[in-house]
Amino acid sequence: GHNNPPDYLKGLNPEQRQAVETTEGPVLVLAGAGTGKTRVLTTRIAHILSQGLAFPSQILAVTFTNKAAREMKQRVGILVGEAVEGMPWLGTFHSIGVKLLRRHAELAGLRSDFTILDTDDVIPLGAAPFAQMIDGWKNKGLGPDEIPEGDARAFANGRPADHAERLRLRRPVAAPDPHLRQHHDVLAEYHRKFKYILVDEYQDTNTAQYMWLRLLAQRPKQPSSPRSRGEDAGRQMRGGANVSEASSRPSPGPADHPLPVNGERERNLVNICCVGDDDQSIYGWRGAEVDNILRFEKDFPGATVIRLERNYRSTAHILGAAAHLIAHNEGRLGKTLFTDRPDPEDPKVNVHAAWDSDEEARAVGETIEAYQRDRHKLNDMAILVRASFQMRSFEDRFIEIGLNYRVIGGPRFYERQEIRDAMAFFRVVAQGADDLAFERIVNVPKRGLGDATIRQIHDTARALRRRTEAEAARRLREVAANFARWQSLLDTTPHTELAETILEESGYTDMWKNDRSADAPGRLENLKELIRSMEESESLRAFLEHVALVMDAEQNEGLDAVSIMTLHSAKGLEFETVFLPGWEEGLGTAAAYVGLTRAKKNLHLWFVSNRRIHGLWQSTIPSRFLDELPEAHVEVQEGGGSNYGGYVNPYGGAGRQNPYGASRFDSLGSPSGGFAGRGDQKGGAAGQERGQGGAFSNSYATPGWARAQQNRT
Ligand code: ATP
Ligand code: MG
């Protein structure tokens, strides 16, 4: 009742409560990080259930990750005060899509036990350019009939025999709509079924996912006359036409408002609630389109738009830094964030410099241990990296010092496919009789298939099948000769050089260079990182032993452990203490913003001044975001570089001196010593040398950095 709100509503602010209690009609919650969007969604489900508005099976709820889905189920359970028996339609777009498709496999011309192929499975066919094309169609939600003609021709000309089948298996996963929209009866069934639709991280839905949502959420128009009924409904359901219609004119008034198809539904409004933050959009990361946010009000006329502005997660310093970061973003929908809990005791955002990534890992490790000594739980700490290659130095270091960690949302560095492949090559060379390793790479890259066009692949595949044993033996001899040559270099060639040679000459590096899938560049980066990291070991054998040791380490399930993950998998999560390494040139605004806003209280940003590429040190350019962070919220930590003394007090505050002095930009372009010329003093007493120079002095002296500066001012 009104006078006595249920417990789950207590503690919500008025806007949050409105978002929870407006159960009828479309609702869009547009709000910054940490304002309680996910909490609103969870509470909304609890509210719907406890008010008896729907059964759990009538709620469709889309989350960003499976982890988020599990957590949401759990939290709803706690709010409702009982275990939520089966929320069968709570999951990611992917998992819900698969489930729908499985139920209606026959409509899509599939068997219900179809397997899902990921890009990984298709690529080895050598069809990389086609896989990329397919991804493009998939992201745009194009059905088989809507594929651009040029694409279709190219595809038809070079399509391998079983590729059509694979395509059919692949593309519906992200977008089952083409099948649904051709089957009105099935669609109507879902319209009746899903009384409430909820979507988290709405800004990241791509066009296909958006079309799919709209298909499930929008009721067909009332036909103008019985004769044209089927036609009209069909056109409406095909989606495309409706988008342009809706966007080319102002929101329809009541007159042309779509009417219900039958008495069962009273109006076109559907109970859909989407929550999102355009500033966290991964647009550009993966084909998501922030336009979907803008389209919402057009496609769902009469939507209630709610803004949440109070942040419950982070300190004023963290919010100040985050707000500043995105303030210059163009085309944002514009949101404010505030906290009413500014606390003078709150630590500022810490910025640290490190000489290279190994030193960065060492320094982060020390800082974590300092927190630990101060009774902070490892579970409350996370290291968020831009790309998976950055995990390597942390994993190595943490194993070395016995610090529990777990990698979330993906494999550990040495468990990645490309790393395992490379290691298999190295093992065969260094350890000879390693049958398992040999089996793994004897046909990697697919020998004879590498550079062929798709048609050639098809022909080659047929030819391969007919190949005589003598032919196979010849190929095997070829491979063996390669390995013999590499083995002969073992004692004479530096091991990192040898490792590079192996990956080049085997065609393995080229295999990924020719691969057009979205994750190929990341894999190449990982391989480079692998080679780089070998410099730490004395020999190939020593390196293999080192990796074996790291691989033996436990995943620390259920133990107190630091989390390591990419910024991408950190969406929606929060941690007391967050470390953001690798703040160098190339970091995107959205990723930086997501990173900053994961932290509740302690935030440490790091940048590395140097990278060793092919045995040579090269200066890197710190991310311009570091420079833009408002001084009032930032503390530049001395003791970056290799000066461990600087980590005694990782919390900033008293005793810290700000090397920027009155203006940290004064030192710009002045090569005041700092790291300069320290190449031979890595890890030694070098740290003491600097200090007066200022943490960034070396980087400021680099031409690139100075240029970047001048461009901005
Ligand atoms: P993100 O954009 O990062 O996904 P979000 O908007 O989804 O953030 P939530 O994760 O829902 O934010 O909430 C952030 C934190 O604030 C959580 O710890 C949540 O429990 C807390 N919180 C949200 N609303 C309230 C409230 N009304 N009172 C107290 N704490 C709240
Ligand atoms: Mg959230």
Among 106-120, 474-488, 650-664, the range scoring the smallest mean pLDDT is 650-664
**Is 37 marked within a binding site?**
yes
Q: 574 CA distance to ligand 1 centroid (A)?
A: 9
Grade residue 579 by pLDDT with cuts at 50, 70 and 90: very high
Cβ–ligand 1 distance for 72 under 6 Å, the answer no
SS3 616: strand
Burial class (CB in 10 A: 0-12, 13-18, 19+), 542: middle
How far does CA 426 lie from the centroid of its chain?
30
Section 74-84 average pLDDT: 78
Q: Which of 342, 230, 330 is nearest to 281 (CA)?
A: 330
**Is 32 marked within a binding site?**
yes
Q: What does pTM read for this prediction?
A: 0.74
Q: Give residue 420's region: left, alpha or beta (phi > 0; psi -120 to 50).
A: alpha
Q: Which residues contact 228 (CB under 8 A, 6 or more apart)?
A: none
Q: 405 CA distance to ligand 1 centroid (A)?
A: 25
71 in active site: no
Grade residue 135 by pLDDT with cuts at 50, 70 and 90: low
Residue with tokens 């810290």: 656
Question: Which residues in 191-333 belong to E strands, given as ranges?
Answer: 196-199, 272-276, 304-308
Catalytic residue (one of 200, 277, 289, 500): 200
200 in active site: yes
337-382 confidence digits (pLDDT tens) = 788 777 889 999 999 999 999 999 999 999 999 999 999 999 999 9
Among 102-111, 197-206, 472-481, the range scoring the smallest mean pLDDT is 102-111
pLDDT above 90: residue 149: no
Section 642-652 average pLDDT: 34
Residue to mutate, 38, 275, 278, 341, ligand 1, most ligand atoms under 8 Å from C-beta: 38
> What is the predicted pLDDT for the residue at 544?
92
Q: Which atom of ligand 1 is nearest to the CA of 573?
A: 3
Distance CA 297, CA 299 (A): 6
Q: Which of 45, 48, 110, 94 is nearest to 72 (CA)?
A: 45
Q: 33 CA distance to ligand 1 centroid (A)?
A: 8
Residue to mutate, 281, 313, 315, 600, ligand 1, most ligand atoms under 8 Å from C-beta: 313
| 92, 201 Cβ separation under 8 angstroms | no
Instruction: Compute the C-alpha angle 456/458/460, nearest 5°.
Output: 65
pLDDT above 50: residue 477: yes
Grade residue 703 by pLDDT with cuts at 50, 70 and 90: very low
* Higher-confidence position of 28 and 78: 28
| 695, 637 Cβ separation under 8 angstroms | yes
Among 50-64, 121-135, 146-160, 577-591, the range scoring the smallest mean pLDDT is 121-135
| 413, 388 Cβ separation under 8 angstroms | yes
Of all protein residues, whose CA lies closest to atom 8 belonging to ligand 1? 34
Phi, psi of 198, rounded to the nearest 5 degrees: -130, 140
Catalytic residue (one of 16, 38, 203, 496): 38
574-600 as b/e: b if 16+ CB within 10 A: bbebbbbbbbbeebebbbbbbbbbbbb
CB atoms within 10 A of CB 251: 13
Q: Which of 685, 83, 93, 64 is nearest to 409 (CA)?
A: 64
495-538 confidence digits (pLDDT tens) = 999 999 999 998 899 999 998 888 899 999 999 999 999 988 99
Distance CA 200, CA 275 (A): 5
Q: How far is CA 136 from CA 65, 120, 131, 512, 517, in A?
A: 22, 16, 9, 20, 11
Residue with tokens 């020390």: 366
Q: Which residues contact 344 (CB under 8 A, 6 or more apart)?
A: none
**Ligand approaching nearest to the C-alpha of 311:** 1
CB atoms within 10 A of CB 291: 12
Section 441-447 average pLDDT: 64
Distance CA 330, CA 189 (A): 42
Distance CA 571, CA 569 (A): 5
601 in active site: no
Cβ–ligand 1 distance for 63 under 6 Å, the answer no
Q: Which of 677, 89, 595, 57 is nearest to 326 (CA)?
A: 595
Q: 38 CA distance to ligand 1 centroid (A)?
A: 7
| 666, 632 Cβ separation under 8 angstroms | no
Q: Which atom of ligand 1 is nearest to the CA of 13?
A: 27
pLDDT above 90: residue 331: no
270-308 confidence digits (pLDDT tens) = 799 999 988 888 764 444 455 667 778 888 888 999 999
> What is the predicted pLDDT for the residue at 668?
28
Q: Which residues are bridge partners to 308 per DSSP? A: 31
Q: Which residues are bridge partners to 306 per DSSP? A: 29
Query: Which tokens is 588 given?
Result: 């995107």
Q: 314 CA distance to ligand 1 centroid (A)?
A: 10
* Higher-confidence position of 600 and 491: 600
| 325, 596 Cβ separation under 8 angstroms | yes
> What is the predicted pLDDT for the residue at 320?
93
